[in-house]
Amino acid sequence: MKRRRFLKIAIAFLGSVTLLSFIYALVKFLSALPSRIAEANRLTIRKSDIPSGEAKNFVYQNAPAVIINRPDKGFIALTRTCTHLGCLVEYHHVKQRMMCPCHAGSFDLEGNVMSGPPPKSLTSIPFRIEGENIVIG
Amino acid sequence: MMRYLFCMAAAALFLVPSAGVAGYREEFEKGFLTKPWAGEQVEENLCISCHASDTMKPDFQSIVEAWQASWHAQNRISCEHCHGGDPKDAALSMSRQRGFVGVPSSETVPEFCGKCHIGILSNFLESGHGKALKMSRKAPNCITCHGSHNIQKASINIINEQLCSKCHSYERAKTMKQALFLTEKRITELEQALLNLKRQGFYAEADEKALFSTQAEFRTLFHTVDVDLVKEKTGVVSANLDKIEQNVRAAVWELGFRRNFSAFLLLMFAGMGAGIFLLSWKKGD
Amino acid sequence: MWNKIINWLEVRVGLGNFIQTQVIEYRIPKNINLFYTLGFLAVIAYGVQAVTGIVLLIYYIPHPDHAFRSVQDIMTKVPYGWLFRQMHTVGSNLMITVVILHMITVFMMGNYKRPRELTWLGGGLSLLITVMFGLSGYLLPWTQLSYWATTVVTSMPTALPLIGEPIARILRGGDSVTQITLSRFFAFHVAVLPPLFLALMGVHLFLINRIGISATPFGMQDEERRPLTEYKRKTHPDGYSYYPLFFQKQMFMVMAYFSVMFVIITFVPTLFFPDEANMPADPNHTPADIQPAWYLLPPYQLLRLVPNKFLGITLQLVLVLVFLSWPFLDSHPEKNVLKRPILRGVFIFLLVMWLVLLSWGRI
């Protein structure tokens, strides 16, 4: 009977270890708080990286975006996906516009449509200024 | 007996109408078998249907084949994206009203391609090549190195002796190639690493996008054909690549951990199975 | 102390008495074999799917704009999300395999015969529900593979004239797979099918208990005089007790099930994830060689082969009806399939055909 007892204890031990591993995994799974996932998605850019009149491209929630340092009105962050057929719009320093190369759609630096086929304005992306940094997301 | 009659009646009920709707086959095949996922791609692009047909000159026909093999085709960039025109309306397919521009002249090729490749256009126009093109026609434009319709993904091997020594000695091109080489190699390796990670269930999308934009910036830079500028910017590019490499290494470690964890669980279950088996093994059973 | 609690429960619930009569004194036939555990295994497999499914529900977002991303996050960013997702995916394929094996072994042992026809019917419907679980769940990650495989499968009903199009349209909620399709598949997968399945399981298990376990026809002579004409619970007074012998067999099979699952998760984690399963759905671009999941390949391939499409789909419907109502059609008193060469031959032929269609459909 010693063998049977040993086997029963061994199985119970393995069983508890397995159960505890799953419970551990589940607890960690549930404590992936939104802030932890958001942190992974958060983007920080130094203000000094973008001189006045310049722009910097970045990726926001898997979509291309741009942050522009407008000479008159300060920073703005816009999506770069043209609302016409989805091409990427480019920031034109000289014209102070966002231009779409595909069908010549043009947006002002608030994202509003100035001319061309785009039906809607570009979405602006919220961001915060924290001291020397711009924080998006 | 009744059972068999019942079965036969049921079979007849289903089979006889089949003969009646035998003509339905054509309709069904039109609706079902011509769908892309049933085997055949339905081409709706009028540019392609005309230019690929036998009434066209062989030169024009070969354009369609060349394009179909290209990287543009794989990314769903077709005729109208570069040449304009309306691919759905036969009357307006080559109309100026729909922005049709036809074949660009050799010195306007950069602007033609630069409609979408904006950064490269500005770098190119500032470069020796660009300036030479605008002054005389004896200079390379985009097509010289990349081809016109069978455009493949850019690689460092576009810089080679055969191509570059057409106008000047290969020495300069060789220096440039050397300056680019290591960074390009790293980029290619990182691309492959990220693809492998994705296949194994680890989606490093942010890193993929960062790599793509770093690569694009780097290659745009090449078009200035300014070796010093390239060497200067290589530092910045390398720093970006370092960050991506770090993330890749962390991901590889994580995948290793996952394999170990599930191997551990496998051992637990196998162990319990073995234990139960031994437990049920009675002597002389 | 412990005994006091047990005693308290015993007076109010009668648990001890229940365990004594239902578990320890429950007798099972002496010649029971390992195949008898497959039913229990199927229920455990369902339990695994339900638990891992609920866990995934905590982070999954059922909208086309977010579905792929949320599954990505589960696999990459959420700690141990990969574990539950892998268990759910691998488990779904294993569960369908187990249910099919259970059906085959019940057939081979003739355990569907009178008075167990209703049990077979309940089981057959459960198989169909399990396949529907697989179909609806396949779309949820919203990948290229999900989207296009679902497009193919939801177009199969169009082979029926007149009613085919409306059926396909109701399934998809439109003319093509869209957000509406995702929402209704999600509702089905999470809220409609589980209670349906559990209700069927309840009936199925109740009937098994009520009628009693049938003995295998192999070797030992089955002493039942067939055909039976009045209700009689089948008992095995000289059989083994359920606990510990058969319980051990069942537990062993459960461990084997989990071991197979974790062999796959450890050594071939990409088995059910081809490249198209890692790309977000793109309604404008069909990948080459798209096909439904393996358990739907035989009907799909049959549909492609039969020249007359109406015949193709009705043939399948007829086969399903025959399969579900087989106990009512098969009145032969002989339970042992080894003594019925024609039936055996036909069944093995159909099984081989099913496998041939499966492999053919992969090409």
Phi, psi (rounded to 5 degrees) for A85: -130, 15
Instruction: Identify the pLDDT of residue C192.
Output: 96
Nearest CA in chain C to B251: C76
With contact defined as beta carbons under 8 Å apart, do C351 and C343 qualify?
A: no
Does the distance separating the beta carbons of B25 and C307 come in below 8 Å? yes
Which one-letter DSSP state was computed for residue B139?
Answer: S
Please provide the DSSP assignment of B63-132 as one string. Answer: HHHHHHTSHHHHTT--HHHHH-S-SS-TTTTT-GGGT---SPPGGGHHHHHTTT-HHHHHHHHHSHHHHH
Pick A118 or C197 by higher pLDDT. Answer: C197
| A26 and A47 share one domain | no
User: Is residue A68 exposed (0-12), middle (13-18) or buried (19+ Cβ within 10 Å)?
Assistant: buried
- A102 domain residue, yes or no: yes
User: Is residue A130 exposed (0-12), middle (13-18) or buried (19+ Cβ within 10 Å)?
Assistant: exposed
**B3 contacts chain C (CB < 8 A):** yes
Residue B121: count other Cβ atoms within 10 Å of its Cβ: 21
When pLDDT is averaged across residues B13-26 and rounded to a whole number, the result is 57
* B166: helix, strand or coil: coil
Residue C333 neighbours by CB under 8 Å, 6+ apart: C226, C227
| A58 and A16 share one domain | no
* A98: helix, strand or coil: strand
Does the distance separating the beta carbons of B270 and C255 come in below 8 Å? yes
Pick C12 or C235 by higher pLDDT. Answer: C12
Residue A4: count other Cβ atoms within 10 Å of its Cβ: 11
Does the distance separating the beta carbons of B206 and A18 come in below 8 Å? no
With contact defined as beta carbons under 8 Å apart, do B149 and B66 qualify?
A: yes
Does the distance separating the beta carbons of C77 and A40 come in below 8 Å? yes
Whether residue A127 is predicted with pLDDT greater than 70 in this model: the reply is yes
Instruction: Identify the pLDDT of residue C45.
Output: 97
Pick A38 or B232 by higher pLDDT. Answer: B232
Nearest CA in chain B to A87: B116
Instruction: Identify the pLDDT of residue B255.
Output: 93
Q: How confident is the model at residue C60 (pLDDT cuts 50, 70, 90)?
A: very high
Tokens of A22: 């799953």
Any idea how long chain A is? 137
For residue A75, the distance in angstroms to the closest alpha carbon of chain C comes to 28
**B236 contacts chain A (CB < 8 A):** no
Q: Any idea what the CATH number is for the domain that residue A55 is in? A: 2.102.10.10
Whether residue B12 is predicted with pLDDT greater than 80 in this model: the reply is no
pLDDT (tens digit per residue) in C25-49: 788 887 788 888 999 999 999 999 9
Nearest of C244, C246, C242 to residue C22 by alpha carbon = C242
Instruction: Identify the pLDDT of residue B40.
Output: 35
When pLDDT is averaged across residues A12-35 and rounded to a whole number, the result is 89
Whether residue B285 is predicted with pLDDT greater than 50 in this model: the reply is no
C73, C77, C83 member nearest A25 (Cβ): C83
Distance of CA C11 to the CA centre of its chain: 39
Q: How confident is the model at residue B15 (pLDDT cuts 50, 70, 90)?
A: low
Instruction: Identify the pLDDT of residue B18.
Output: 57
Does the distance separating the beta carbons of A103 and B99 come in below 8 Å? yes
When pLDDT is averaged across residues A5-34 and rounded to a whole number, the result is 90
Instruction: Identify the pLDDT of residue B31.
Output: 53
Give a three-class secondary structure readout of chain C.
CHHHHHHHHHHHHCHHHHHHHHHHCCEECCCCCHHHHHHHHHHHHHHHHHHHHHHHHCCCCCCCCCHHHHHHHHHHCCCCHHHHHHHHHHHHHHHHHHHHHHHHHHHHCCCCCCCCHHHHHHHHHHHHHHHHHHHHHHHCCCEHHHHHHHHHHHHHHHHCCCCHHHHHHHHHCCCCCCHHHHHHHHHHHHHHHHHHHHHHHHHHHHHHHHHCCCCCCCCCCCCCCCCCCCCCCCCCCCCEEHHHHHHHHHHHHHHHHHHHHHHHHHHCCCCCCCHHHHCECCCCCCCCCCCCCHHHHHHHHHHHHCCCHHHHHHHHHHHHHHHHCHHHHCCCCCCCHHHCHHHHHHHHHHHHHHHHHHHHHHC
Whether residue A38 is predicted with pLDDT greater than 90 in this model: the reply is no
Pick C186 or C164 by higher pLDDT. Answer: C186
Chain B environment of C248 (Cβ under 8 Å): 276, 279-280
**Which residue reads 């590889």 in tokens?**
B252
With contact defined as beta carbons under 8 Å apart, do A51 and A69 qualify?
A: yes
Chain B environment of A59 (Cβ under 8 Å): 206, 209-210, 213
The top-scoring range by mean pLDDT among B95-99, C139-143, C238-242, C356-360 is: C139-143
**B281 contacts chain A (CB < 8 A):** no
Residue A19 is part of which domain span?
A: 2-31
| A74 and A96 share one domain | yes
> Please, what sign has the CA dihedral across residues B6, B11, B14, B18?
negative
What percent of chain C is predicted at pLDDT more than 90? 40
pLDDT (tens digit per residue) in B42-58: 446 788 888 888 888 88
| Ramachandran bin of C14, using left for φ above 0, alpha for ψ from -120 to 50, beta for the remaining angles | left
Q: Determine if the peptide bond prior to C227 is cis (ω within 30°).
A: yes
For residue C93, the distance in angstroms to the closest alpha carbon of chain A comes to 21
Cα angle B86-B92-B94, degrees, rounded to a multiple of 5: 75
Q: State the Cα–Cα distance between residues C18 and A33, nearest whole angstrom.
A: 44
Distances (CA, A) of C37 to B96, B132, C121, C168, C247: 74, 82, 19, 38, 9
- A17 domain residue, yes or no: yes
Q: How confident is the model at residue B264 (pLDDT cuts 50, 70, 90)?
A: very high
Does the distance separating the beta carbons of C79 and A31 come in below 8 Å? yes
Chain C environment of B38 (Cβ under 8 Å): 152
A57, A62, A87 member nearest B213 (Cβ): A57
Instruction: Identify the pLDDT of residue C194.
Output: 97
Instruction: Identify the pLDDT of residue B276.
Output: 92
| A63 and A90 share one domain | yes
Nearest CA in chain C to A39: C77
For residue C79, the distance in angstroms to the closest alpha carbon of chain A comes to 5
Pick B3 or B220 by higher pLDDT. Answer: B220
Pick A42 or A90 by higher pLDDT. Answer: A90
pLDDT (tens digit per residue) in C116-130: 889 999 999 999 999
Distance of CA B88 to the CA centre of its chain: 24
Chain C environment of A37 (Cβ under 8 Å): 73, 77-78
Q: State the Cα–Cα distance between residues C321 and B10, nearest whole angstrom.
A: 10
Range with the lowest mean pLDDT among A10-14, A45-49, A74-78?
A: A45-49
Pick B32 or B195 by higher pLDDT. Answer: B195
Q: State the Cα–Cα distance between residues C273 and B197, nearest whole angstrom.
A: 13
- A37 domain residue, yes or no: no
Q: State the Cα–Cα distance between residues C56 and C77, nearest whole angstrom.
A: 13
Find residue A77's DSSP bridge partners.
A67
| A14 and A75 share one domain | no
Which one-letter DSSP state was computed for residue B140?
Answer: -
Q: State the Cα–Cα distance between residues C215 and C30, nearest whole angstrom.
A: 8
Tokens of B35: 């769908």
Instruction: Identify the pLDDT of residue C70.
Output: 93
Which one-letter DSSP state was computed for residue A53?
Answer: T
Find residue A90's DSSP bridge partners.
A99
Residue B125 neighbours by CB under 8 Å, 6+ apart: B110, B131, B134
Nearest CA in chain B to C257: B269
Residue C125: count other Cβ atoms within 10 Å of its Cβ: 16
When pLDDT is averaged across residues C137-157 and rounded to a whole number, the result is 90
- Cα of first residue to Cα of last residue in chain C, in angstroms, is 66
Q: What is the pTM of this model?
A: 0.79
- Other chains touching B, judged by 3 or more CB pairs under 8 Å: A, C
**B17 contacts chain C (CB < 8 A):** yes
Please provide the DSSP assignment of A61-80 as one string. Answer: TTEEEEEEEETTTEEEEEE-
Whether residue C204 is predicted with pLDDT greater than 60 in this model: the reply is yes
Computed over every residue of chain C, the mean pLDDT equals: 87
**B167 contacts chain A (CB < 8 A):** no
User: Is residue C182 exposed (0-12), middle (13-18) or buried (19+ Cβ within 10 Å)?
Assistant: buried
What percent of chain A is predicted at pLDDT more than 90? 16
Computed over every residue of chain B, the mean pLDDT equals: 81
For residue C52, the distance in angstroms to the closest alpha carbon of chain A comes to 10
Instruction: Identify the pLDDT of residue A129.
Output: 85
Number of domains into which chain A is organized? 2
| A96 and A118 share one domain | yes
Alpha carbons within 13 A on the beta-carbon side of C41: 29
Nearest of C103, C118, C327 to residue C231 by alpha carbon = C118
Whether residue B19 is predicted with pLDDT greater than 70 in this model: the reply is no
With contact defined as beta carbons under 8 Å apart, do C88 and C94 qualify?
A: no
Q: How confident is the model at residue C224 (pLDDT cuts 50, 70, 90)?
A: low
For residue B60, the distance in angstroms to the closest alpha carbon of chain A comes to 25
Instruction: Identify the pLDDT of residue A128.
Output: 85
Instruction: Identify the pLDDT of residue B89.
Output: 80
Best mutation target among A9, A16, A59 (most B Cβ atoms within 10 Å) is A59
With contact defined as beta carbons under 8 Å apart, do C90 and C261 qualify?
A: yes
- Cα of first residue to Cα of last residue in chain B, in angstroms, is 48
**B273 contacts chain C (CB < 8 A):** yes
Which one-letter DSSP state was computed for residue A123?
Answer: P
| A80 and A23 share one domain | no
Nearest CA in chain C to B198: C278
Q: How confident is the model at residue B284 (pLDDT cuts 50, 70, 90)?
A: very low
**B263 contacts chain A (CB < 8 A):** no
Q: What are chain C's domains?
A: 36-213+255-362 (1.20.810.10)
Nearest of C330, C343, C351, C349 to residue C120 by alpha carbon = C330
Element (H, E) at B46: helix B46-51
Chain B environment of A8 (Cβ under 8 Å): 279
A4, A62, A103 member nearest B279 (Cβ): A4
When pLDDT is averaged across residues C42-62 and rounded to a whole number, the result is 96
